[in-house]
Amino acid sequence: MNRPALIIDCDPGVDDAVALLLAFAAPALDLLAITTVAGNAPGHATQRNARMMRQIAGRADVPVFGGAERPMKRPPAGAGEFHGPEGLGDLEPFEPAAIVGDGPAANAIVDLVMRRPEGTVSLAVLGPMTNLALAMRREPRLAGRLGPVAVMGGARAEGGNITASAEFNIWADPDAAAVVFGSGCEVVAFGLDATHQVRATEARIRAIEAVDSEAARTAAAMLRFSQRVEREIVGWPTPDWGAPLHDACPVAWAMAPALFDLRPCRIEVETQSDLTRGHTAVEFRVDPATARHRWAVGADAQGVFDLIARTLEEAAR
């Protein structure tokens, strides 16, 4: 059985870091490349952070390509309060041994997808969708060649985390998100409705801390940082609360789709209004046979964390 071929486009970011460490450790995935974009941290930091995770995971075979430094039409955004000034919480940054790949991320996406058979390369987009939108603009045939695009982004029933109705990744570059959702490719969206169910409780973090590897210790440190920030900024309503682990969800779905409950839909993104910038209009009244979008409405949170701990433990053997 062939392994799913996957490109991860990300903006590390503490939860991106956990997602990368999961993907690097997963033998079930044929990880073609990591591409990075400005988002949680500036572009120079996100590509360095991705290379740091690659080095910690011992996966020098996976190329990392730096990408867009700013959104398509808007000033750069940032989320340092939730990720730390360098994007990786309390982890001291270092210059990784392996350099960044030649050429921009959008070109790498086009090259990797177009050279393989139609529908055989999927993307997990964990940050603003700028790189993929630019790639689609450069190669109009790209959308028709892609396998499923699993994105972390959007909000519906849960409400937004930047404005009342907008989630950060979509809000940061709504114009890029509109290009991707409107391209005709198959998109599976993991918005806050699902990711807010996947919380790093104390017991779940301890299970990852119990794994004896640098990758597991790093992942647990990212979760500890998020736990502290969530308590300080958002609040801690119950003793068994935890920070949501957003960006690991698309990677976990690529590995174990049964962990998530998806519904066919149509998704459109607001790009004109300042008040509702980045709002994801999710319409479930569609024909399931022709719908190109799916929206995650439920997640097996314990299953996701078990998958992370088990994958990191098996990689450490």
Residue of 44, 83, 196, 246 with catalytic role: 246
For the chain, the 3-state helix, strand and coil shares in percent, each to the nearest 5, are 40, 20, 40
What is the layout of strands, in order, in the sheet containing 293-299?
64-66, 30-36, 5-10, 121-125, 149-152, 187-190, 293-299, 260-269, 280-283
DSSP β-bridge partners for residue 268: 281
What is the length of the chain?
317
Half-sphere exposure for 186 (CA within 13 Å, toward CB): 16
Report in angstroms the alpha-carbon separations of 86 from 13, 50, 93.
Answer: 8, 12, 7
Structure token digits, residue 216: 């597991």
Using left for φ > 0, alpha for ψ between -120 and 50, and beta otherwise, residue 293 falls in beta
Contact indicator for 36, 16 with CB cutoff of 8 Å: no
- Taking alpha carbons only, the member of 292, 275, 37 closest to residue 166 is 275
Bridge-based pairing of strands 199-200 and 243-244 is: antiparallel
Q: Alpha-carbon distance 11 to 51, whole Å? A: 12
Closest CA to 21 of 307, 302, 317, 275: 307
Residue 279 known to be catalytic: no
Write the single-letter amino acid at 34.
I
- Residues labelled as active-site residues: 246
